[in-house]
Chain A
Amino acid sequence: MIVLNVAILAALMLSTAITTAQPVVIAPENSTFSVLMVNAEGGEAGKRIIGLEAIQESTKTESVSEIEHAAHNSLAEDKPIGPSDAGISILSVPDATTGGIVWRIEVPGAVHQTAISSDERCAVAIHRSGNGISVINLMSFTPTVYAELCRCGRVARDRSIG
C-alpha cells in the first residue's frame, strides 16, 4: 500500500505519555519532518522529535517497532473509514519524554489539523481536501468514524497541533 500523504502537521501529543518539569511548547517543523520541544518560558530549544516523515509500504521497517508494526497491520484487517479514493495519511503519536514515535495511525486523506477531546479518549483529524473529519479512538489508536462535512476549517481545542 502506498502512502500518499504524511500528517507531520498532525502529530498527536498525549499527555499521558508526557512527563515534563517545565511548560513545553511543541513547534512543528514542516519541511524537515520534525517537531521541536521548546521551553515555554523563554523559548530555549529542547528535544527534537524526528522521524515524522513518510513511511512505508505495509512491511516492517527498522523504524517501526514490533508494537507499531502489529498495530499497523491490525488496521488492514479492519474496515477502512472514509472515501475509497482519499489516499492515506499517517498520524504520528510521539512520546515527548523519549522522542520516539509510539504509534502511527492511518487516516483517509491529507490532514490539516488535529485535536484531542478533553477526556483524551478521542482525537479528530481535519481533512480539508476531502471536506471531512476522522475520529480516532485513543484507547485503541484506531480510526473509528469518518464524517463528511460541508467545509472543514480548523479545530478549536487548545491542544490541537498542526
Chain B
Amino acid sequence: MTENVIAGSGDGKIAAINLADVEIQVSELSLEHYQLTKICGTGTLFVSTGAEPKIRIIDEAVIMAKGEFVIEGQGHKMVALP
C-alpha cells in the first residue's frame, strides 16, 4: 500500500514512495508546473497544470492517468474537502 506520494517537478515525473518498504514507483507525466493533490479514500490523485485547463485523475496504485476533466483557466493547487 502506498503511504505517501511526492512529486518531482524538475523533469516532469511523479514518484510514489511506499513508506513501508521504501519502494519508489516513478511515472512520466510530461506536464509543466503541475500540482498534485491526494484524494484520501479514493485511491486517486488529481493533477493540475498551469500549462492547460485540464485536471488529470491519476490512479494512485499504478501512477497512471485514468481520466481527466476540463476546467476554466489555469489550474493550480487543489484541495480535497474532508
Q: A residues near B, CB below 8 A?
A: 9, 13, 15, 18, 20, 23-34, 36, 38, 40-45, 48, 96, 113, 158-162
Number of inter-chain CB pairs below 8 Å: 94
In the bound assembly, the distance between CA atoms of A24 and B44 in angstroms comes to 13
B21 at the interface (CB under 8 A from A): no
Partner of B80, one of A40, A42, A43, A48: A40
Q: Give chain B residues whose Cβ lies under 8 Å from the Cβ of A41.
A: 42
Contact A27/B46 with A36-B71, A43-B57 known, Cβ cut-off 8 Å: yes
Query: By the criterion of a CB under 8 Å from any partner CB, how many residues of chain B are at the interface?
Result: 28
Which of A20, A40, A42, A96 has the most B CB atoms < 10 Å from its CB?
Answer: A40
Q: Chain A residue with minimal CB distance to B78?
A: A27
Question: Can you list 29 contacts pairing A with B, beta carbon distance less than 8 Å?
Answer: A9-B76, A13-B79, A18-B81, A23-B39, A23-B41, A25-B37, A25-B81, A26-B78, A26-B80, A26-B81, A27-B55, A28-B76, A29-B75, A30-B50, A30-B75, A31-B74, A38-B55, A40-B39, A40-B80, A43-B46, A43-B55, A43-B57, A158-B80, A159-B80, A159-B81, A160-B77, A160-B79, A161-B78, A161-B79
Identify the 3 closest CB pairs spanning chains A and B, nearest first: A32-B73, A31-B73, A29-B73
A28, closest chain B residue (CB): B76
* B80–A113 CB distance below 8 A: no
